[in-house]
Amino acid sequence: MGKIYKTIDLFAGIGGIRLGFEAHGCKNVFSSEWDKYAQMMYEANFHETPFGDINDIAPEDIPEHDILLAGFPCQPFSIAGKGLGFADTRGTLFFNIEAILKAKQPEAFLLENVKRLTTHDNGNTFAVILDRLNKLGYTVYHKVFNSLDFGVPQKRERIYIVGFKKPIQFKFPKPLGYFKPLSEVLEKEENIPASYFLSETMKQKRFSALKTIPPKPSIWHENIGGNISPLPYSCALRAGGSYNYLVVNGERRLTSREMLRLQGFPDSFIINIPYSQARKVAGNSVSVPVIQAIAGEMIKALNEPKTAVKYKEPNLFGDYDYIGSKASVR
């Protein structure tokens, strides 16, 4: 039996990242989340109440751990947010992560954020983050993944940043290349309360805007310009999206359970908060299957360490990958 790695779960939300690592036998020793509704769901499912504001605990007082996990706030860097980056107080929370890494020196970390983090402020924000992590002595890897490629029918592109205290080789998991059909995610129509269905006026407005025959089942996405796109998958769940941002078959809103399924949570995951808050925490959460796949490769790299070799090669996105002491994309 291999080592049982201890994790800490920062900006934990409802615990999606923790779930992915627990699937590989990791034991969580500390969690932090300030939103009270996310705390309620976290407690219901993990039987512990996360510590509140991470600013209220000294890095030295964080329990000893092997792997730091953090889906740090994405709103400062997202298209849906104002994109203020470090000028947004939530954007500076990365430096809390840096302080904990410096104080506790864990073997590894996983950070998750929106894809736009890589291009915010012409790439300067991401460069600062990578430079800080490198200066702490970590060998860093990063890659953008789309949840659609890991089995869940949700188009959700996120940047995943992995680091190791020792200069060891790491390869991100290979995407599955497929997603389950919506029919396996959506609840039976007869079980949906009437309050979830749009008014006839709103339904007609959407149907009249269609330019193609929609697949069925489908989730209709309405963008900022009011254009309707019926798709065989969901666009990214958003904490701040309107109630009609994503509509099933042009007729009704997603249920709380459906939103969690779109993030890859098991049906055993308890929902004990109002619908308005469930929408928020689901949109702020992570795609569990992606995390689980990355966690598996991280555990493998820690258990069977191989020295990283510096090299440079073009990748699929037309830029370059670096392995070694510099930030990398693999």
Nearest CA-CA partner of 328 in 167, 125, 124: 167
pTM over 0.85: yes
Active site annotation includes 74: yes
Q: Please tell me the predicted confidence (pLDDT) of residue 119.
A: 87
User: Cis omega (within 30 of 0) on the bond before 73?
Assistant: no
Spell out the domain ranges in the chain: 6-178+285-323, 182-278
Q: Is the four-CA dihedral 238, 17, 255, 155 of positive or negative sign?
A: positive
Q: Which residue has the higher pLDDT, 125 or 97?
A: 97
Which pLDDT value is given to residue 275? 96
Q: How far is CA 114 from CA 62, 98, 165, 301, in A?
A: 26, 19, 24, 25
**pLDDT class of 305 with cuts at 50, 70, 90:** confident
The catalytic position among 54, 68, 74, 236 is: 74
Instruction: Report domain 6-178+285-323's class.
Output: alpha beta
Assign 82 a pLDDT band (cuts: 50, 70, 90).
low
State the pLDDT at residue 49: 94
The CA R_g of the chain, rounded to the nearest whole Å, is 20
Annotate 123-151 with DSSP letters as a single string. Answer: GHHHHHHHHHHHHTT-EEEEEEEEGGGGB
* pLDDT (tens digit per residue) in 211-238: 888 999 999 998 877 788 999 999 999 9
Dump pLDDT digits (tens) for 1-60.
679 999 999 999 999 999 999 999 999 999 999 999 999 999 999 999 999 999 999 999
Q: Which of 297, 287, 14 is nearest to 152 (CA)?
A: 287
Q: What is the pLDDT of residues 309-328, one digit of tens each?
A: 654 444 444 343 444 434 34
Cα(125)–Cα(186) distance, integer angstroms: 38
- Number of neighbours of residue 119 by Cβ within 10 angstroms: 12
**Which of 186, 182, 176 has the alpha carbon at shortest distance from 151?**
176
